[in-house]
């Protein structure tokens, strides 16, 4: 009887142990499943956060792109308007430049006869430039204004050049646009340009010293000084004197 009771008690203990082991195994399996679910949840959460961040970045980029497209559209409209204005300006500038060139051509022909070849070549070059289809309106306009400025500067300066007068080589002195004079290379003869007669007229020997001084000043050998030279009388004053 004692042995039977002991065996039964041992079986109960074994069963209890087995139940405990099975329970622990079930708990471990359950915890593993929980851990797996937790890891999966974390991964899903990370993917969600990454997707949310990417969506935010795409939204920012879309807004920037929209602003850029708006700015580009405004710039395109502005450029189109500028092109219209440029085309209109070019249409208006071309006849103006042609009139300016024609006036310059006539002025050079009627002006005092100094630097004749240089000035004539400048006008001829401008005419070729105006006929050149490759030349821009801006370049044409710049060159015309440049030619006008050169002519203006002649009236504010003195100049000297070697020329031939009455088959003699002489030094020609230009005093602004007030007067044009010459002195022979030996310094013995002098003359002045008579605009009314369009011819050179001889000068008295009294002006030889002033002419020599003027030539030195024009060549920047001497400092500027007063010159005693005959000046042409304006037509209005000459008529009044009569």
**Residue-wise pLDDT tens digits, 152-172:** 999 999 999 999 998 999 999
Mean pLDDT throughout 116-138? 96
Q: What is the reported pLDDT for 63? A: 81
**Inter-CA distances, 131 with 24, 57, 137, Å:** 105, 58, 11
Assess whether 166 and 127 both reside in one domain.
Answer: no
Read off the tokens for 94: 């071309």
Assess whether 112 and 164 both reside in one domain.
Answer: no
Strands 179-184 and 168-175, bridge-based pairing: antiparallel
**Span of 9-13, 119-123, 144-148, 215-219 with lowest mean pLDDT:** 9-13
Assess whether 103 and 115 both reside in one domain.
Answer: yes
Between residues 116 and 89, the one the model is more confident about: 116
Q: What CA–CA distance (Å, rounded) separates 185 from 85?
A: 57
pLDDT surpassing 70 at residue 233 = no
Assess whether 121 and 169 both reside in one domain.
Answer: no
Total of domains in the chain: 2
User: Which residue, 154, 172, 205, sits at the end of a domain?
Assistant: 154
Mean pLDDT throughout 125-138? 95
Q: What is the reported pLDDT for 238? A: 47
Assess whether 183 and 143 both reside in one domain.
Answer: no
Residue 66: pLDDT band by 50, 70, 90 thresholds?
confident
Mean pLDDT throughout 190-206? 95
**Inter-CA distances, 158 with 202, 216, 219, Å:** 21, 11, 9
Mean pLDDT throughout 80-89? 71
Q: What is the reported pLDDT for 37? A: 62
Residue 88: pLDDT band by 50, 70, 90 thresholds?
confident
Q: What CA–CA distance (Å, rounded) separates 203 from 190?
A: 5
Burial 9-18 (b: 16+ CB within 10 A, else e): eeeeeeeeee
Mean pLDDT throughout 141-161? 96
User: Which residue, 135, 154, 173, sits at the end of a domain?
Assistant: 154
Q: What is the reported pLDDT for 229? A: 93
User: Which residue, 154, 176, 211, sits at the end of a domain?
Assistant: 154
Asked, for residue 122, whether it belongs to a domain, the answer is yes
Asked, for residue 76, whether it belongs to a domain, the answer is no
Exposed / middle / buried, residue 216 (Cβ in 10 Å: 0-12, 13-18, 19+): middle
Assess whether 162 and 211 both reside in one domain.
Answer: yes
Asked, for residue 220, whether it belongs to a domain, the answer is yes
Assess whether 149 and 191 both reside in one domain.
Answer: no
Assess whether 102 and 125 both reside in one domain.
Answer: yes
Q: What CA–CA distance (Å, rounded) separates 220 from 125?
A: 30
Confirm if 143 and 157 have CB atoms less than 8 A apart.
no
Assess whether 163 and 118 both reside in one domain.
Answer: no
Assess whether 116 and 173 both reside in one domain.
Answer: no
pLDDT surpassing 80 at residue 65 = no
Q: What CA–CA distance (Å, rounded) separates 218 from 230?
A: 17
Q: Which domain holds residue 214?
A: 158-229
Mean pLDDT throughout 173-202? 95
Asked, for residue 80, whether it belongs to a domain, the answer is no
Q: For a pLDDT cut of 70, what percent of the chain falls above it?
A: 81
**Contacts for 214 with CB less than 8 Å, ≥ 6 apart:** 158, 173, 175, 181, 227, 229
Return the top range by mean pLDDT from 12-16, 31-35, 212-216.
212-216
Residue 57: pLDDT band by 50, 70, 90 thresholds?
confident
Between residues 193 and 15, the one the model is more confident about: 193
Confirm if 161 and 136 have CB atoms less than 8 A apart.
no
| Closest of 168, 146, 149, 145 to residue 157, by C-alpha | 149
Assess whether 99 and 120 both reside in one domain.
Answer: yes
- In this prediction the pTM is 0.64
Assess whether 111 and 145 both reside in one domain.
Answer: yes
Q: What CA–CA distance (Å, rounded) separates 242 from 230?
A: 19
Residue 54: pLDDT band by 50, 70, 90 thresholds?
confident
Q: What is the reported pLDDT for 240? A: 47
Q: What CA–CA distance (Å, rounded) separates 31 from 150?
A: 100
Q: What is the reported pLDDT for 92? A: 84
């Amino acid at each position: 009887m004692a042995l039977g009771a002991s065996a039964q008690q041992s079986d109960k203990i074994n069963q209890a142990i087995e139940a405990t082991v099975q329970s622990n195994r079930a708990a471990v399996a359950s915890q593993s499943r929980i851990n797996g679910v937790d890891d999966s949840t974390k991964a899903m959460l990370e993917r969600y956060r990454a997707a949310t961040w990417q969506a935010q970045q795409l939204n920012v980029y879309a807004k920037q792109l929209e602003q850029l497209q708006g700015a580009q559209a405004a710039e395109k409209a502005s450029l189109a308007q500028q092109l219209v204005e440029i085309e209109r300006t070019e249409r208006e500038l071309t006849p103006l430049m042609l009139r300016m060139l024609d006036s310059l051509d006539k002025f050079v022909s009627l002006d005092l006869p100094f630097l004749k070849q240089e000035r004539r070549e400048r006008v001829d070059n401008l005419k070729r430039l105006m006929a050149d289809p490759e030349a821009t309106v801006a370049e044409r306009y710049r060159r015309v204004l440049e030619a006008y400025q050169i002519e203006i500067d002649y009236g504010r300066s003195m100049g000297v050049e070697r020329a031939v007068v009455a088959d003699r080589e002489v030094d020609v002195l230009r005093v602004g646009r007030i007067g044009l004079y010459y002195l022979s290379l030996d310094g013995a003869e002098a003359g002045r340009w008579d605009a009314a007669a369009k011819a050179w007229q001889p000068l008295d020997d009294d002006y030889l010293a002033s002419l020599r001084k003027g030539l030195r000043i024009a060549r920047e050998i001497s400092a500027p000084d007063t010159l005693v030279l005959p000046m042409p009388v304006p037509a209005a004053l000459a008529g009044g004197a009569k």
